[in-house]
Amino acid sequence: MNTLGKQSKTDVWNGNMALWWSVVATFLLKMSAGQQVDHILRQSTSCQKDTPSGDFGFYFDGDEIFYVDLDIKEVEYKLPEFQKFFFFEAQLGLQALSACHFNLDIYIKRSKGISGPKVPPKVKLYPSRPVELGKSSTLICHADGFFPSVLNISWSKNGTPLEEGITITDFYPGKEFTFERFSYLTSIPDGGDIYSCTVEHPALDQPNAVFWQAEKTFVHENGTVSLSIHKKLKGIYLYQTIVDCFYMNNGETVILIKTIIYNKERQLFFDSRVGKFIGITENGKIDAEYFNNNTEYLDQLKAEVTTFCRHNYDIMKDVIVGRKVIPRITVHPQRNVVEKHPNLLMCVTSGFYPQRIRVTMLKNGEEVTHDISSSGVVSNGNWTYQITLLIEFIPKKEDVYGCKVEHSSLKEPVIVEWRMEAYN
């Protein structure tokens, strides 16, 4: 395997591989009973007979480190600081995509041109952090779990289409060999403004729109939006090469899994513990036999546990593995407070990294364990996360509510209190 990067630094990446986890992770955990996976590094290559023609990128625990922009043929880093430590030659990504298209043509012929499945996206619309009316805010439209990687996102405000203040990501590899995509809108919301993001995908009979208005979200199917994305579709033919580096015991134990997927179906995989490829489908068994007869290639993959996985973990230790961002915590009622009238109290914990966190609600110093709902940890798509807890309560002057947050970026747990007297 070639060594990539700036040789004068320790920020060297080894390339020419691809990764992801989903189904493979389930298989891995079954094989590694008693061992917990701490981190996953992945490099993903996917290509298809449609637009976009393909994607190539590196990911860590689901967050994108960088990808190769096919239009300008350059590497785009997700965060500016990553460029100081990581270096990857865009040409290597382009070569991987060229090989991907070569293999795609082979699988199309083998499958006699039968088109693949369509899976509709799940769409969410939410602010990156609590919104203050009249101040600049960022709304996030997140489409997840769809297949193939053909999806458009558009924005509107009070029914008027928007074109400014919008950014959109490339396609990220998702669970079970699906994809996800984020779009961001920076705007200044005023009271009464209604924002929407509309998503088009081949699996949808008509585009879906999700609306947001001051902590209210709902889904609506909008049949008036153009269905041009359906006319462009040439059939579903998508090939993926995915290789995962699984890190356990603080990086002491490392397993490499390389997986080949066609039209969302796993064909074959290489497991560094077994030292060979295992075929799943008939086509996969043909390729597994071919690769297993190539001892030089098998030896190369075995060596990449060290030259690729361990090598890059050493680079990421301080830059990513040790990265910590302190959460912002906001506690407020959902509606205007009237004493002894039922209400909802919200605790929004946002902007933190890593994603593991513990948030609990307190009443007069005691943990509340009932009448609570949680959004779960939600990705902002930019190396930060958020979580919202809702508690049903009846406001009383004598009660003190609190939101307790425990996170690795904090030296000790933080409690943000809410009192009816202070609110009034």
| Across 197-206, 305-314, 329-338, 387-396, least confident range | 329-338
Q: Residue 54 in contact with residue 46, Cβ under 8 Å?
A: yes
Please say which residue of 321, 356, 379 terminates a domain. 321
> How distant is the alpha carbon of residue 204 from its chain centre?
21
Kindly state whether residues 222 and 281 are assigned to the same domain: no
Percent of the chain with pLDDT over 70: 86
Rg of the chain on CA atoms, in Å: 24
For the segment 156-169, the average pLDDT, to the nearest whole number, is 96
Residue 369 in tokens: 């364990």
pLDDT on residue 86: 87
Kindly state whether residues 252 and 344 are assigned to the same domain: no
Count Cβ atoms within 10 A of the Cβ of residue 80 and give its class: 0-12 exposed, 13-18 middle, 19 or more buried: exposed
First to last CA, the chain: 65
pLDDT of residue 143 exceeding 50, the answer is yes
Q: What is the pLDDT of residues 102-122, one digit of tens each?
A: 999 999 999 999 999 999 999
Edge-first strand order for the sheet with 414-419 is 366-367, 358-363, 400-406, 414-419
Residue 292 in tokens: 């297993």
Kindly state whether residues 129 and 223 are assigned to the same domain: yes
Kindly state whether residues 179 and 96 are assigned to the same domain: no
Kindly state whether residues 166 and 192 are assigned to the same domain: yes
Q: Residue 239 in contact with residue 262, Cβ under 8 Å?
A: yes
Other C-beta atoms closer than 10 Å to the C-beta of 296 total 6
pLDDT on residue 9: 26
Give the C-alpha separation, 304 to 285, whole Å.
23
For the segment 176-197, the average pLDDT, to the nearest whole number, is 95
pLDDT on residue 338: 76
What's the chain's average pLDDT? Answer: 87
Q: Residue 257 in contact with residue 270, Cβ under 8 Å?
A: yes
342/106: higher pLDDT: 106
- Note down the domain range covering 254: 3-115+235-321
Kindly state whether residues 69 and 211 are assigned to the same domain: no
Q: In this structure, what CATH number is given to the domain that contains residue 92? A: 3.30.500.10
Beta strand pairing call for 265-271 and 166-168? unpaired
pLDDT on residue 423: 59
- Residue 362 pLDDT level (bands cut at 50, 70, 90): very high
Kindly state whether residues 132 and 180 are assigned to the same domain: yes
| 16 strand-pairing partners | none
Q: Which amino acid is at 142?
A: H
For 236, phi and psi rounded to 5 degrees?
-105, 110
Residue 208: which H helix or E strand, with range? strand 208-212
pLDDT on residue 357: 98
- Residue 5 pLDDT level (bands cut at 50, 70, 90): very low
Please say which residue of 186, 205, 232 terminates a domain. 232
- Residue 29 pLDDT level (bands cut at 50, 70, 90): very low
| Across 222-226, 244-248, 258-262, 270-274, least confident range | 222-226
Kindly state whether residues 44 and 191 are assigned to the same domain: no
pLDDT of residue 20 exceeding 50, the answer is no
CA-CA-CA-CA dihedral for 99, 104, 105, 110, to nearest 10:
130
Please say which residue of 275, 291, 321 terminates a domain. 321
pTM of the predicted structure, to 2 decimals: 0.87
349/18: higher pLDDT: 349
Q: Which amino acid is at 370?
A: H
| 185 strand-pairing partners | 139, 166
Kindly state whether residues 74 and 97 are assigned to the same domain: yes
Q: In this structure, what CATH number is given to the domain that contains residue 189? A: 2.60.40.10
In the DSSP assignment, the letter for residue 314 is: H
Q: What is the pLDDT of residues 272-289, one digit of tens each?
A: 999 999 999 999 999 999
Kindly state whether residues 104 and 130 are assigned to the same domain: no
pLDDT on residue 35: 77
Q: What is the pLDDT of residues 189-239, one digit of tens each?
A: 988 899 999 999 999 999 999 999 865 544 444 433 333 444 455 689 999
Kindly state whether residues 133 and 40 are assigned to the same domain: no
DSSP one-letter string for 105-174: HHHHHHTTT-----BPPEEEEEESS---TTS-EEEEEEEEEEBSS--EEEEEETTEEE-SSEEE--PEE-
Kindly state whether residues 250 and 103 are assigned to the same domain: yes
pLDDT of residue 18 exceeding 70, the answer is no
pLDDT on residue 106: 96
Percent of the chain with pLDDT over 90: 75
Give the C-alpha separation, 84 to 74, whole Å.
16
Number of structural domains the chain divides into: 3
